[in-house]
Structure 1
Amino acid sequence: MAGVRRRDRHGRGLRGPLTPPQAPVSRTRAERFDDLVGDEVRRLGKRWGRELSRVEFTVEEVPEVEPWFDGPVPLGRTVPGEGGRPVRIVVFRRPVEARASGDQELGRLVRDLLVEEIADLLGLSPESVDPSYDE
C-alpha cells in the first residue's frame, strides 16, 4: 500500500479553519456585540449594582415595529417588569451597528444607550449615572 493520500489536488494546502474556535477573531459579529454590551453592563454594575440587581439586560437583533410606524428605528428600550418578572433593558444590535461608523463609535453608542436607559429607569440624569457620558 502506498503512502496516505491527502486531498490536495491543486496544491492549495490543507483546508479548514485558520484559527481555533476559541480565538477572538473567530467570534461572530453578534457574539462580539454581546460581549460589548456585557462589558458595559459590568462596568455600570460596579457603581449601580444594588439598584440594577433586579434589572435584566438583553440583546435582540431588531425591534418589532408596527407596519404603520413612522419614525426613527429605536436603538433600545426598557420593558417594565410585570407579574414578578424583572425590568428588562433591551439593546437592538442591528440598528446600533447601522448607526456606528466604526468600533470606537459602536462602543460609545452602546455606552450612551445603556446610560440613558438606566438614568431614565432610576429617574436620574445620564451624567449622574456615568460621569463620562458627555465625553
Structure 2
Amino acid sequence: MPRPPARRRDRHGRGLRGRLVPPGVPLSRSRSEQFDDLVLDAVEDIERHWEKELAGVEFAVEDVPWVDHSSPDEVVLDADVLDDGSVPLARVLPGRREDGVDHPPRIVVYRRPLEIRAHDPEDLADLVRDVVVDQVAVLLGRDPEEIDPTG
C-alpha cells in the first residue's frame, strides 16, 4: 500500500513557519554577524591612524577559545592573550614562517566570552573596541592610550 504524502503542516495546523523578519533588515542579521560588524568597525577606526603598521595583519573572530586538551603542557594564557580571570577574550598570534610559508600576524577576538560580559549592545561595542585596541597595542608594542587616545 502506498504511503500518503507528507503533511506540510505542523500538529497545530498552522503550516510551516517562515522568517519573521524580511532579509536586509538589521534585525535579520544573526548575533555572530552583528558581532563581526562590531569588530570590523573597531578595526577600521584603528586602521585609519595605523594603516602602515597594520598592513598585512589579519583580524579574526572565533566563537570560543580553542584549547588543545591533548597536550597538557601547552600554556593557554601567555603574554599575547587578553583574559578576564581565566577566560581568554582575545589573542595575538605573531607572524611566523613555517615550512617555507609566511603566516602573517593575526588578532583573534572571541565572541561568546565578550557577549557574556556585556550588559547591553552599547556595552558590547565598547568592550569589543577596548579589546581590539589592547590587542593592537600588544602587537605593535605600544601603549593602548597611544593606539586610541579617545578611549
* TM tier relative to shorter chain: 0.7 to 0.9
* Structure number having the greater helix percentage: 1
Match of 1:4 in 2: none
Please list, as runs of the form range in 1=range in 2, the aligned pairs for 1:88-99 lying within 5 A after superposition: 88-99=106-117
What residue ranges of structure 2 are gaps of 5+ in the alignment?
A: 1-8, 78-84
Considering only aligned residues, what root-mean-square deviation do their CA atoms show, in Å?
2.3
Please list, as runs of the form range in 1=range in 2, the aligned pairs for 1:33-48 lying within 5 A after superposition: 33-48=35-50
Extract structure 1 runs of 4+ deviating beyond 3 A: 66-71
Match of 2:86 in 1: 72
Q: Indicate the SS of the match to 1:114.
A: helix
- Deviation per CA, 1:39-88: give whole Å up to 9, x if none: 11111111111110110000001002355779521100001111211100
What displacement does 1:17 show?
Answer: 2.3
Structure showing greater relative contact order (alpha-carbon pairs closer than 8 Å, 6 or more residues apart): 2
TM-score, L = length of structure 1: 0.82
The AA in structure 1 aligned to 2:59 is: F
What displacement does 1:132 show?
Answer: 1.7
Distance 2:94 2:141 in 1: 14
Instruction: Name the stretch that deviates more: 41-50 or 62-71.
Output: 62-71
Percent identical pairs in the alignment equals: 52
TM-score, L = length of structure 2: 0.74
What displacement does 1:15 show?
Answer: 5.1
Distance 1:79 1:91 in 2: 11
What residue ranges of structure 1 are gaps of 5+ in the alignment?
A: 1-6
What displacement does 1:22 show?
Answer: 1.6
